[in-house]
A and B are shown apart, each in its own frame.
Chain A
Amino acid sequence: MEGKECEKSMRALSIAKRLIKQLRGDKRSIALMFVAPVFVMYLLSAILTSATTKPNLDVISAPEAYIEKLQSQAYVSKVDNEDIALKALKDKKIDAYIVFSDVTPKITLEGVDPSITSLVMNMMNKLSLSSTTQKPEIKFLHGSIDMGVFDSTAPILMGFFIFFFVFLIAGVSFLRERISGTLDRILATPLKRWEIVLGYFLGFGLFVSIQTIILQAFSIYGLKIPMIGSFWAVLIINLALAAGSLALGTLLSAFASNEFQLFQFIPIVIVPQIMFSGIFDLRNAPNWAKILSKIFPMTYGADALKNVMLRGKNILEVKFDLLMLIGYAILFLILNTIALKKYRKV
């Protein structure tokens, strides 16, 4: 009996080996697989980190002492009257201007771009804080006052790109097996349904692991995203996330009869995952949105990654998230095995 079991798992390995052999011959796919997530992550970091600069201000008839203080927080230029400043603001050459007509300064903003508005308001806040006599002492449990948008979302984005690219690869290649007729053909052998599913999981698991390591190493060492936890803990979370995505990709491809249909699953299944994963604050969202976020595996991945990378928690402290991710992977694998019944009854 033991020998038979061994032979069975050998067949899953045969499929894994075949997939590896096939992909090894396809150098361009491999290159894309490893480079694309790194590229997208780099682009995002470039966009999101460049946004946190100082605002450009014009000031009119301000006291010298005030201007000096302003200069520590903004790029300041003095202009003669409000008309010049107003024109500059309309032409988007400056972000705001300040007029000292009497004691209180009057500030005017363009007001359409919320990121610029908050940039200016933040600056004003910092200014008023430093001028009061009772300056509060500010302490952060985690992170710091310099933590920007990219810094705080990078762990989630990294997890999401792993999730997204793995889904694509797994979905498309399993679909190819069906369209080419080879799935039907291998089902005319004693191969068990779960052996196919496991074989795919193992074969792509290898490439996905390499992809995950590359993206993680690039994000942490290349982009220097904030990371105070253990590299290995993050890797375990990412791999669990990738496992879930790999299984989900092959599962959903069973319900698509061509690539076009498979890609329709991206806006339906993948995009909501990032929206509900904690990148936006859901505290005031309607209940259905909160429930939805609890259903998505990405939410647990995002939570675990944030806790380890930004809050320095260890792997045991995020074990609930991790178990959820592994649970999802197993659930999708089982569902996939059942879904294959469509192609062979036993």
Chain B
Amino acid sequence: MSNEAVIRVENFKQQFGKLVVLKNINLEVKRGEILGLLGPSGSGKTTLVKAIVGMSEPTEGTVTVLQTKMPSLSVVSKIGYMAQSDALYEDLNAYDNILFFASLYGMKGKEAKKRADEVLELVILRNEGKKLVKNFSGGMKRRLSLAIALVHKPEILILDEPTVGIDPVLRVEFWKEFERIRKAGVTIIITTHVMDEAEHCDRLALIRNGGIIAMGTPDELKDKSGEATVEGAFLYYGRKGV
């Protein structure tokens, strides 16, 4: 069953007022796959991600996650979401932040505490658990956001610009972690505008001018465009103006 599509987006269009942010979006993500959404800021990556998470409703088309049409609250509990900006409670400590989100997924007591310890360990914040988040550095906040996205052991992980503002060393650690999570069978969608990160993804969707201009594995994209890097490929498809 490794070929089943856990996320399917069909004829997706999102419009705010008169502004059409995205249109004609079609994509599928298979179980255990890492899909990268690559595009300049303002290209609509977050808009697409929010529809997949179930926070918004498409203007046209459908978003299906785990065979359920979104938005659906029952599927939401199987998705882990790391927002673009760190949405944390600054006046609580890291541990309480995690416990609060755990409780929203119905976890409580010993189970929740054990899991909080696990995810803190995972993002290397074990010793910082009792520190108030307002005293955290930007990188620590990113890590805590990731820990929160993982707390309920989601089947699908949606990461909106997870590595923005973190140093290169930590970025490598993050990607190692994403690999480990993927090996456990979790499907990951990740948005980025950092081209070298794109190389880590199984498949990429290049987003520009409100649509997907190309989709494929990093190697496919490079071969077809005749460029040596993903960045080159992105520019090539951009010029073609599809």
Q: Describe B's contact surface by its main secondary structure.
A: loop
Whole-angstrom distance from the CB of A89 to the nearest CB of chain B?
60
A341 CA to B68 CA in the complex, in Å? 21
Instruction: From known contacts A14-B103, A18-B92, infer whether A181 and B77 are also in contact, taking CB-CB under 8 Å.
Output: no
Whole-angstrom distance from the CB of A162 to the nearest CB of chain B?
25
Residue pair B77, A182 in contact (C-beta under 8 Å): no
Query: Interface segment, A21-29, A56-64, A135-143, A311-319?
Result: A21-29
Residue pair B55, A11 in contact (C-beta under 8 Å): no
Question: Residues 98-116 of chain B: 1 if any A CB is under 8 Å from the residue's CB, otherwise 0?
Answer: 0011011110100000000
Whole-angstrom distance from the CB of A189 to the nearest CB of chain B?
4
Interface assignment of A269: CB less than 8 Å from any CB of chain B? no
Instruction: From known contacts A14-B103, A346-B54, A346-B71, infer whether A188 and B76 are also in contact, taking CB-CB under 8 Å.
Output: yes
Instruction: From known contacts A22-B92, A184-B55, infer whether A345 and B71 are also in contact, taking CB-CB under 8 Å.
Output: yes
Whole-angstrom distance from the CB of A219 to the nearest CB of chain B?
32
Interface extent on B, as a size class? 20 to 34
Chain B residue nearest in CB terms to A24: B91
Question: Residues 184-205 of chain A: 1 if any B CB is under 8 Å from the residue's CB, otherwise 0?
Answer: 1111111110000000000000
The one of A21, A180, A190 in contact with B105, judged by C-beta atoms closer than 8 angstroms, is A190
A343 CA to B83 CA in the complex, in Å? 14
How many pairs of A and B residues are in contact by the CB < 8 Å rule? 79
A186 CA to B76 CA in the complex, in Å? 11
Residues of chain B within 8 A (CB-CB) of A182 are 87-89
Interface assignment of B85: CB less than 8 Å from any CB of chain A? yes
Q: Describe A's contact surface by its main secondary structure.
A: loop
Whole-angstrom distance from the CB of B198 to the nearest CB of chain A?
24
Whole-angstrom distance from the CB of A346 to the nearest CB of chain B?
5
The one of B57, B71, B86, B104 in contact with A189, judged by C-beta atoms closer than 8 angstroms, is B104
Binding site for A on B (CB under 8 A): 53-57, 71-74, 76-77, 79, 81, 83, 85-92, 96, 100-101, 103-106, 108, 132
